[in-house]
Amino acid sequence: MSYKTIIIDDDLNGINAIINLFDQFDFPAEVVGTAQTIEEGIPQLNQHQPDLLFLDIEMKNESGFDLLEIWDSKNTKVIFCTGYDQYAIKALKNGAYDYILKPLDYKEFMALFKKLDEESVENEEKSESTEKEEAKAKLTIKSPGGVYLIDFCEINFLKADGRYTQIHYDNEKECTSSQNLGSLEETLECADFQRINKSLIINRDRLKGVEKRGAKSFLFFVGGELEVTDGIRKSTLKLLE
């Protein structure tokens, strides 16, 4: 990975020193802009939205901290490069990613890019893990009408319909799966699903109530209801005890 980089330093020699280090040690940094004043730097920052900003602190009539007060750096890692060590704590409090003292030492840059690369790998692994978890958190339903990906947490209940299964979810939506109820039960990855009898599995987390109206019994879910036998009503009540 190559990091888009901007360097802001009132000393041209300071800018060139950083660029020379990048070239000499083949650091993965692509310099997309340089500036010797904050006024010159802001348009470049807005245009390129760099990954890294190498920023001097004490410049002619201004400070690198002035830039952080007027420019949103949340998507850019700021690395202060300065000859003054007394600003380190202030830099960290202002969200600096790193603080490198002049004269520049290539070892500091090696440590910096090692840290960046390790974080990049870690973030990629987390992203892949999150995508896998999100994929696992969905039930894939093959239906005569197509394929549905339904979040487990949105399913109200699954009801057997002969060799097929009706899935009711997300405020009275429903679809029919070509799989039978027993086959689908094996794919349910949430502990909140509970089989009531041979033809019905409910999501206890979505169940909002049980009621008997005269001779009829009902289960209430988020955004919907299901008329059931009195036996199912009683079985469901036991679950709630």
147 — pLDDT class (breaks 50, 70, 90): confident
146 & 203 share domain: yes
What is the number of structural domains in the chain?
Answer: 2
* pTM of structure: 0.56
Domain range for 39 is 3-133
128 & 34 share domain: yes
184 & 232 share domain: yes
Name the strands in the sheet holding 98-101, side by side, starting at the edge strand that comes first in the sequence. Answer: 29-35, 3-8, 52-55, 77-82, 98-101
Residue ending a domain, among 83, 113, 133, is 133
74 & 149 share domain: no
143 & 213 share domain: yes
123 & 147 share domain: no
72 & 94 share domain: yes
Q: What is the pLDDT of residue 130?
A: 57
100 — pLDDT class (breaks 50, 70, 90): very high
25 & 80 share domain: yes
The residues that bridge with 138 in the sheet, in sequence order, are 151
CATH code of the domain covering residue 145: 2.40.50.1020
**What pLDDT, in 10s, does the model give residues 154-169?**
899 999 998 899 999 9
Instruction: Answer yes or no: is pLDDT of 132 > 70.
Output: no
- The pLDDT mean for the chain works out to 88
Instruction: Answer yes or no: is pLDDT of 136 > 60.
Output: no
**What pLDDT, in 10s, does the model give residues 70-94?**
888 788 999 999 998 898 889 888 8
Residue ending a domain, among 114, 133, 152, is 133
Q: What is the pLDDT of residue 188?
A: 82
Which region among 45-59, 98-112, 163-177 has the lowest average model confidence (pLDDT)?
Answer: 163-177
94 & 158 share domain: no
Mean pLDDT, residues 118-133 taken together: 72
Most confident of 38-42, 92-96, 121-125: 38-42
CATH code of the domain covering residue 19: 3.40.50.2300
Q: What is the pLDDT of residue 108?
A: 95
**What pLDDT, in 10s, does the model give residues 176-189?**
998 899 888 888 86
Residue ending a domain, among 113, 133, 153, is 133
Q: What is the pLDDT of residue 141?
A: 83
129 — pLDDT class (breaks 50, 70, 90): low
156 & 236 share domain: yes
What is the number of alpha carbons within 13 Å of residue 169 lying toward its C-beta?
A: 18
112 & 151 share domain: no
Mean pLDDT, residues 215-223 taken together: 89
Instruction: Answer yes or no: is pLDDT of 191 > 70.
Output: no
Q: Tokens standing for 149?
A: 């990906």
**Whole-angstrom Cα distance, residue 192 to residue 156?**
11
